[in-house]
Amino acid sequence: LFAPKRLIAISRRRSRKSELAELFGAESMTIEEALNLKGEFDIVIEASGSPDGLEIALNLTRPRGTIFAKSTHGKEVSFDYTRAVVNEITILGSRCGPFDAAIGLLERGKVRVDELVTSVYKLDDGIEAFKKSFDPDELKVQLEP
């Protein structure tokens, strides 16, 4: 995971998010483009927030590959369970990691985050900021005192 041969960010369309992925060193492609590489990925991190994300991840993952499921969209999903079993695909759910370690990395400047903040609002404008956070091109909306 730390030194992949190839890192690809997949999105529904070209967007601010796909441009940021490229800035951080990933290739960027749409779902349609990625599905041409069907079954070629060793590891797929499903963080789309979309109910169909797991099925798409399953289509992309090679036999004996691993899907890390990060999406929490609040809906029940169905996927091709038989294909997951026959192809021996590991599906690992993960909600959050160790916050203390993450905060330490941020404090030491080991993680680039400035590029992730796409909008900044005053705390008094929190409602407007919250609404803005639903814009699909927004990454992180920051509130300031």
Per-residue pLDDT tens digits for 10-37: 887 788 888 888 888 888 888 888 888 8
pLDDT digits over 90-143, tens only?
Answer: 999 988 778 899 899 999 999 888 888 999 999 999 999 999 999 988 889 999
The structure's pTM equals 0.76
> Which residue has tokens 């990625």?
34
Which pair of structure tokens corresponds to residue 11? 């999105």
The pLDDT assigned to 111 comes to 87
Higher pLDDT pick, 3 / 101: 101
CA distance 136 to 145: 25
51 HSE (CA, 13 A, CB side): 5
The pLDDT assigned to 92 comes to 93
Domain 8-93 CATH (choose: 3.10.20.30, 3.30.930.10, 3.40.50.720, 3.10.310.30): 3.40.50.720
pLDDT digits over 79-105, tens only?
Answer: 899 999 999 999 999 887 788 998 999
75, 52 contact by CB (below 8 A) = no
Question: What is the residue extent of each domain of the chain?
Answer: 8-93, 111-144
pLDDT digits over 47-68, tens only?
Answer: 888 888 899 999 999 999 999 9
